[in-house]
A = this chain, B = another copy of it.
Amino acid sequence: MATRGSVVRICRTSTLFADGRCASCVIRNTLERKRLQEEGLQSALLRIDNTSLPPKRTLYRQDAPADALYSLRQGTVKLVRETPTGEKRIVRLLKAGDLAGLEALAGADRYRHTATAVDVVDCCRIPLPVIAHMEAAGRDFSVELRKRWQSNLDEADSFITAFASGTAEQRLARLLLKLIEQHSTPGCVSLTRSDIGAALGVSMETASRLMADFRRRGLIHGGGRSLECDAAALRDLANPR
């Protein structure tokens, strides 16, 4: 973390809550409700890094010691699981408001996945001791945490039912629909062909062929940074008749 290319700001100023993108943060939400200035919370907050990561930078790696949570403020993060034999599979695509690395809170000593920024990601790294300290001081994150945990579960379920069922064409249509709906803007993140393959459980070549096919059929336009899709047409493909 916090290596070349990433911008690190420390959460120690009163502008803490001034940023609208903090709105979805577990920690902030709880603090805001209960007032900040007490006990040693100031020093605890000093250890929360607010970081901006360029695409491809990793937040944490599979099997590394799980010592922090990551609260996503902006952008998309992929959670990749690597099998002992080397093939990688994307098991979740997290967005603003989601928490990455929840296993750390459940007592796991290692991360289950490698978390990597897909586009420019803005996130807060929250070391476990910070959570422990706050809870010892009477904070209760449980309500917020449950929602984030459920959000992770829902996402995992989607990967099973939407991205690992049906033909490759259906899977891709569903993935694109998901990407555009979690972006709100007309465009959406443009994944590499390998990432699409790793998310859908198909080969990179199949992903490429299908994307090319979709483009010829006018279902998608553009590419590069942002991809534009014909949501209505994709919906027809996503669910067989």
Q: Is the CB of A112 within 8 A of B160?
A: no
Please give the count of copies of this chain that the complex contains. 2
Q: Is the CB of A156 within 8 A of B146?
A: no
A29 at the interface (CB under 8 A from B): no
Q: Is the CB of A149 within 8 A of B106?
A: yes
A87 to B239, CA, bound (A): 11
Q: Which of A151-202 contact B (CB under 8 A)?
A: 152-154, 156-157, 159-161, 164-165, 201
Q: Is the CB of B87 within 8 A of A147?
A: no
Listed stretches A46-54, A78-86, A204-212, A224-232; interface member: A78-86
* Category for how many chain A residues contact B: 35 or more
A43 at the interface (CB under 8 A from B): no
Closest chain-B Cβ to A196's Cβ sits at a distance in Å of 15
Find A150's partner among B84, B106, B160 (CB 8 Å cutoff): B106
A107 at the interface (CB under 8 A from B): yes
Given contacts A107-B147, A146-B107, contact A160 B164 (CB under 8 A): yes
Q: Which residues of A contact B (CB under 8 A)?
A: 81, 83-85, 87, 89, 91, 102-103, 105-108, 112-113, 142, 145-147, 149-150, 152-154, 156-157, 159-161, 164-165, 201, 239-241
